[in-house]
Every structure is written in structure tokens, then in C-alpha cells.
Chains A and B, each alone.
Chain A
Amino acid sequence: MQYANMTTKPDSELDARNFTPRKRAREREARLIATLTHSGRGFYLLVAGLLAVIAVGAYAYYRQLSEGLVVTGMRHYVFWGLYMTNFVFFIGISHAGTLISAILRVTGAGWRTPITRMAEAITVFALLIGAPMILIDMGRPDRVQNVLLYGRIQSAILWDVISITTYITGSLLYLYIPMIPDMAILRDGLPGAARWRKKLYTLLALNWHGAEAQEHALEKAVSIMAVLIIPIAVSVHTVVSWIFGMTLRPGWHSTIFGPYFVVGAIFGGIAALLLAMAFFRRALHLEEYVTVKHFRYLGILFLVMDAIYLYFTFAEYLTSGYTSMHPEAEVLGALMTGRYAVTFWGMVLVGFLLPGFMLSLPLFIKPAPQAKVGWVTMRLRPALGIGVALLLVAGGLVSAIQPAGVGALIASVQPTTVAATSAQAADSTPYLQWAVLFTVPVLFMFFLPEMRAHPIATTTIAAALVTVAMWLKRYLIIVPTLENPYIPIPPSTPADWAHYLPSGVEWAITAAAFALFILLYVLFSKVFPIVSLWETREPAHVPAPAHPAAGALAPEMGD
């Protein structure tokens, strides 16, 4: 395979035809390898910051272990909260990787090579963070062995245990196998490296020396894993949704939940992958590996998933809303017009629709030539947009203050704390939040030329919006349903029982989970090359698909 060619063929043969690209490729690879051993101040600052967040989270968990789940905001009615939200979110993120990279591999998309490793690493770390969220949520984590000792296959939780452990195993293999040639490259190509690195790379390289038999075996293993991992990934998020789907709860007991969650997971997964691409591109200066093309291609896949997800969302809520069945109608009311309206519509408009517009920009509008974009368009227009947005917020502030004074203003900023007393909820319409919400499309319109000029930044911002929205979506699946049981919660119920407000402990653990995820990911990029070395050595525009038939499906679009 190409690995052998690269090392055995004299450079002169290639250089005659292709001198500059070859040299540049070698240089970019050298720069990438250098990031493994050389870290800037930013890296240490980041790690220190993440460790601090994790330390706070660890203390919070210690408190939870010693005092019990009473330190959380969860109570009789809302007995699942942030931990379950994080669980579903991280398991969703895990689809970034393996599924997307597997699909791209199976379809022989040649442009995938610089981003597959990033994607596969996300999967492994997201699973390592997501699965233990259930342990953190458990009242008796000391009895977790009971799941193995007395496990009942009839329980959807067991389905999750089986599916997720299979997925972790599979995605670890799927991350590792294509990394073997890279391990050999690092084993041989890092003369001055620390001893532990040498040992690690030698061990993980499995005596790889690029022999034809080895290449054949590798190719076969990767192909098999790529096909196997797809149904496993689909099963994982299906059974996660079935934890909810198998109950008699409004908003959960839905036949659409399996595919809905799978689509949501792929959607959120692509968002996470785009964020990782943008981060590493900047942090490790991978501009020559991760290009506009990657953001654009993945952005189109992202847009498609966005459209499918919106469709599912529409289908789900229309079906349950049209008939107004009790208590489905109450859950829907809480989302559409009630307690969670701002969150819900914010999620739909800013989290799903707006990114859709942002991602479809390159489909309709070609980037304007820089020369024609004048000062007015690039500077004055955004300034104008910010001005209008500020006016909107100011208007929101005024209308929030006017009806009921300062109390309503506070209420509009934090409706969740106030709505607990239902009598007040009616007159404290969150004007300000709506105003803030409307600034987003305004800013969007005024920043159009900016976005056209910066496709990578635009795609990244869209991905960030979607990531937040997908987290909120999981929260909105869990909490409003629990707040609207079949037997309505009596008005005399204490507010902290009837409604859920996550406690500091829960937020600290949540923040720590995110920090640990980023930390693991960043550390991984310091030990293993975050871009596949051997796969990017072959020119991306001359793909050599193992199976020509599959290769024909490759979405090789023109730039």
C-alpha cells in the first residue's frame, strides 16, 4: 500500500513530477509530528484550567457520595435531570465519530482521511464520559455489580449496558487498528523522543513494517470494522431512546424515538466533530490538513442531518399535539407556550433553523471576491446589526420593566425560579428573553457578507449552536415530561418537588464531565497524531479505494 511506496521509492521519482506538493506534504507532516512533543503555553493553561474544573466536580461528587442524591435538585417528580441529559448527550456525541468515519470509509470518500482520527477519538472519549453518567445518577453506585449478577435482559437498561459496552470495545478497536502504521512511523521517526513514548509506540505498532501481508490484513480489518460498527452505533442510540420509549410517560412513549434519537445523535455528532476540527486546526496549525473543503463537505452532511432532525421534530410534536391527549397536551403546552417556551423556541430557531441557513449559504451564494467587498459591507453592516440588536434588547428591557417593575425584569431573566409559583407565571412574560432571541436572526442578516467571507468560522459557529441546542433538547425531553405526570402534581406540592432546578453539585459534575472530555481529547492529541499520518500521505485527490464499486459512491464534489 502507500505506506510502503512512500518509504521505499526514491524521492526523485516522485519529485520529478510533483516536487513542490511532495515537499510540502513532508513539511506539514513534520510539523504535525512536532506538535506531539512540543506544547505551547496555551496547552498548559488549558490543561490547568480543565484540571481545576475537574477538581471542583470531583469534590461535588464526593459530596454526593457522602450525603446522597439529596444534594441534587432531583426530587420525587423530576427524578432524572442533568445526569441523564449528559448521558444522552455524550452518547449522542459519540456518534460523531465512528459512525461518520465508518460511513465515509465505506463510501470511499477520499477527503475523509485528515478527519477520521479526530472523529473516532471523539467516539471513544464521549463513551468513556457518557456511560459513567449513569453511575453518577445511581442512588447506589456501590451495587453496580448487581447489573452483572442479576441483570434482566428484559430491562432496557440492560440493552444499554450490552450495546454501549459493545460500542466502546468496537470503537476502541476501530480507533486503534488504522493507527498501527502511524505507530510504526512514530516508532521509527522520533529519534529524540522520551523512553515511554518509544516503548508505547513500539508496543502499539505490533511490529508493523509495512509488509504486504500486514497491509492486506490491516485493510481487511478496517473494512470489516467499518461495516460492523455502523449497526452497533445505530443500536446504541436506539436503545438509549428506548429507556424512555418503553415507559408509559407522555412525550416518551413514542414509536418514533428510536430513529429520532439516532438521527439526533449523528446530527450532534457532526457538530462535535466540526468543533474539534476547528479547534485542532487552530491549536495545532493543521490548516494544510483540514481545509475549507472539509468544512464544506461535512457541512453539507450536517445540513442534511439538520433537515432530517427538524422533520422528525415536527412530525413528533405535530402528532402528539394535534389530538391533544392528556397528558401529552400538558407536556407540549409546557414546551410551546409554557415554562420551557423560550428554551424550546430558542432551541428550534437558533439551534436548528439558524444553523441550517448558515450551512446552506455556500450552496446558494459563492464567496464574493474580496476586492468587491467594500468597507461599508464588511464594517458598517455588522456595526449596524449590532446596533439593531442592542435596540431590540433595550426594547425588551423596557417592556420587561414597565408592566410589573423590577420584579418582572428579574423574572424575565430567570423565569425558571419564578414560574415555580404558578400564579406569578402568567404576568411575567419573558419579554427580554424573546428580544434576545430575536437579535439572533438580525445579527445573522447583518453579518451575511462576513459569513460568506469566512466559511470555516460560519460552519463552526453553526456547529456550536447545534451542540448547545442538542444538549437542551435532551434536557427538554427529560424534564418537562417528568413535570407532567398522569396524575397532575397538586398545587400544594413544594416548588422544589414540582419543578426541577439543577443544584450546584449537578452543575459542577456536568462541567467536570465536559472538562474531562476535552482533557482526554487534548491529551490524546499529544500522544497520538490527531491526523492519520499514513493515510494523508497518499494524495487526497487521487483516492485508491479498496473496492472500486464503493469508491464510485464517493461524494467527490468540485471545489
Chain B
Amino acid sequence: MTQQTLGADRPQPTELTAERAEKNGIRPSPLSRRQFLGLAALVGGVGAFSSQALNVVKDSLVSAAAQARRVLPTFTADANSFGKLVGQDGQPLSSPDAAPTPQPAGRHRWVMVIDLARCDGCRMCTEACNTMHKVPEGQEWIRVFKMQDPRTNATYWFPKPCFQCDNSPCTKVCPVSATYKREDGVVLIDQDRCIGCRYCMAACPYSSRFFTWGEPVQTAAERAQAYDVELNTPHRRGVAEKCLFCPSLLRKGELPACAASCPMGAIYAGDELEDIVTNGRGESAKFSQLILDGSGYRYLDELGTKPRVWYLPPRGRQYAPPQPDQGHTGHG
């Protein structure tokens, strides 16, 4: 503990730290939809202000920006991807191809909220996920980090799935459209197409992507199953893998494995359009209200990735704060 007070501003090399206090509830979370609506209103007002020359110039710039946002979707996926595609602003585009997988029934936009005040670092989410997806050895699609902010002495647990970013850096860099963003918000990987260059891993600032380096251990029956792009099974060697939000479960009205297994009810999953999220204890909440009341934030939001996972800061923790790492603790 003295180590932390001495540590003042500089994180100890052996500690897992996140110097992002400003994220922890100080800044209100920017909502991409709201931003978009605001922008749309601005664009709509172009005509009204057109008499003023200066405003015309200004607004045409704004509208050009909005236009640019609309034509950018090729960055997230392209005509060769299947499933419905979305633009950079999260708005759906018309599907260019016949989709090989069934489209989700109805309109959804999956979202996750993780209450850091509730997570006690038991790692049951990781185990449930590993079991359900038969995650290849060494990978943890949802990983629990021990975080520490030296300035406030806050130590807390930080479960990190894939954030399914709306402006996903990983899909931008894929040379073969093997990974893409779908209309329901998830980022999927077509492992029949992936060439294993690992550029998506380089692009992801959250280290959320994994790679199957060797032959994955699977039974013959597992191996014989038909490939499911929403589960990444059966696993194969030499391709990228990651958390996919279990969209097949969500569509059936069930929770992803991690959320369902969390005894603390820390992980909420649900639909942003319906504005409802539910945790493993069966507690439901209005998504917008939850992140508004709880000062929800998105991790490293300033990178512009627009994650679909919100965090509630670890205020009023419902568990004993974890001991700071001394370099030899259990899983981080």
C-alpha cells in the first residue's frame, strides 16, 4: 500500500494500472446516436440559414462531413461480407449480397453494460465463456484484469470482452473482408476467409483479438460440426478469434454465457434499440437510464473506436477491493 502512495503519478511497473481517472465518471459518456441526431438536425437546418453567407459555408461543411460519414461504410465491411452492414454512424445500409446466415429476426442493436462496482474478480464469466465456446487453450475472450488507479488508490476488477466497436479499427484493416460489422452491432470473423495476417490484432487497441497458433484441441464430433460464424466453432488453426457477444443466444432472448454466469450480476447485456439490458440475476434496467444514473463510460473512448460496451465506475464496491499486484498474484 505504501508503494501506491509513493507511486504518486507514476505507475509501478509491476502493477496493473489504468491512468484514466478522467474516464471514471467525470466525463458524461457521449452517445453516438445523439450526436448523429444532432448532426442530422444541423444538416436539416441548412436551408433555413442559407440567407447568411457565412452560415452557408459553415453548414455546407457540416453537411459535407455528414455526407462523408454516410459514404464511409466501406471501412467497416464491404460487398463481399455477409450479413447486414452498417456505416460508420451505426446506421444500417442495404444488404448488398444474399446473406449466407439467417438475418436476426427483428431489429436489434446489442449492447453490454459492466458494473465495476459489482465485479469481484471471480472469473466465472471467463470460465463460462471458455466452456461454451470451447475457447482454444490460452485464449480468454472475456478477460478479467486487475486495475489500479494510482491517483485514487482504486483497485478494481475489469472484465473485458470484445467491445464490438461501432468504428471498429479491426474491420478497417482486414485485407480480405474476413472480419466485418453487422447491423445488430456485433463484429464477426469469417474464419473460412481469414488469412491469418493478424493485422486486426495490431489494429485493436484493446488486445481483444486472439489467434489460434496451433491445432486446437477438439473432439472429432466437434470438428465435424458445421461452421458457425456466430460462435467461431469449430475452431481452426491459423485464424483470428474473439468474443462475439453470443448473438445467437441474445436473439433467442437469452443472455451471453458471461452475463448469465456472473453471480454478482455485474454484466448486463441487451438491446440498445429496445433500451433494455439484463444481468445474470435476472435484474433488468433501462439501458439509457442505467448508464446515465451510473455515469457510464466507454473504455478508452478517446481513441474514437465507439465501443458497444459501457462500464459503470467502481463506486461503492460491493466486495473487498483486490490487493494491488506485487508481481506474483493470480490471474490479473
**13 extra A-B contacts, CB within 8 A, seeds A70-B214, A156-B173, A490-B145:** A138-B238, A139-B195, A139-B212, A140-B194, A140-B195, A152-B174, A155-B175, A157-B173, A248-B169, A249-B202, A482-B202, A487-B207, A492-B329
Instruction: Judge whether A134 is part of the interface by a CB distance below 8 angstroms.
Output: yes
Chain B residues in 8 Å Cβ range of A252 = 202
Q: Give complex CA distance A243, B197 in Å.
A: 12
Q: Are A150 and B207 in contact (CB under 8 A)?
A: no
Q: Mark contacts of B225-253 with chain A using CB atoms, 8 A cut-off: 1 yes-contact digit, 0 otherwise.
A: 00000000000011100000000000000
Q: Give complex CA distance A487, B299 in Å.
A: 10
Instruction: Judge whether B293 is part of the interface by a CB distance below 8 angstroms.
Output: no
Within 8 A of A (CB), among B228-283: 237-239
| Chain B interface, DSSP helix/strand/loop, else mixed | loop
- Interface size range on B against A: 35 or more
Instruction: Judge whether A147 is part of the interface by a CB distance below 8 angstroms.
Output: yes
Q: Are A68 and B193 in contact (CB under 8 A)?
A: no
The answer to whether residues A139 and B146 also contact, given A249-B205, A491-B16 and a CB cut-off of 8 A, is no
Within 8 A of B (CB), among A235-279: 243-244, 246-249, 252
Within 8 A of A (CB), among B159-207: 160, 169, 172-178, 193-199, 201-203, 205-207
Instruction: Judge whether A137 is part of the interface by a CB distance below 8 angstroms.
Output: yes
What's the tally of chain A residues with a CB closer than 8 Å to chain B?
A: 51
Q: Mark contacts of A108-147 with chain B using CB atoms, 8 A cut-off: 1 yes-contact digit, 0 otherwise.
A: 0000000000000000000000000010011111011011
Q: Give complex CA distance A67, B80 in Å.
A: 31
Which B residues form the contact surface with A (CB < 8 A)?
Answer: 11, 13-19, 74-75, 78, 80, 138-139, 145-146, 160, 169, 172-178, 193-199, 201-203, 205-207, 210-215, 237-239, 300, 303, 305, 325, 327-332
Q: Give complex CA distance A423, B196 in Å.
A: 35
Q: Give complex CA distance A72, B331 in Å.
A: 25
The answer to whether residues A140 and B238 also contact, given A423-B327, A486-B300, A487-B145 and a CB cut-off of 8 A, is yes
Q: Are A138 and B214 in contact (CB under 8 A)?
A: no
Q: Give complex CA distance A485, B303 in Å.
A: 13
Q: Are A147 and B211 in contact (CB under 8 A)?
A: no
Nearest-CB residue, chain A, relative to B20: A326
Cross-interface CB contact of B196 among A138, A326, A422, cutoff 8 Å: A138
Chain B residues in 8 Å Cβ range of A175 = none
Instruction: Judge whether A50 is part of the interface by a CB distance below 8 angstroms.
Output: no
Q: List 10 A-B pairs, minimum CB-CB distance, nearest first.
A: A139-B196, A490-B332, A139-B238, A70-B214, A157-B175, A70-B213, A155-B175, A248-B205, A140-B196, A150-B176
Q: Are B203 and A326 in contact (CB under 8 A)?
A: no
Q: Which of A80, A140, A244 has the most chain B CB within a 10 Å cutoff?
A: A140
Q: Which of B15, B175, B239, B330 has the most chain A CB within a 10 Å cutoff?
A: B175
Cross-interface CB contact of A247 among B139, B173, B239, B325, cutoff 8 Å: B173
Q: Are B197 and A138 in contact (CB under 8 A)?
A: yes
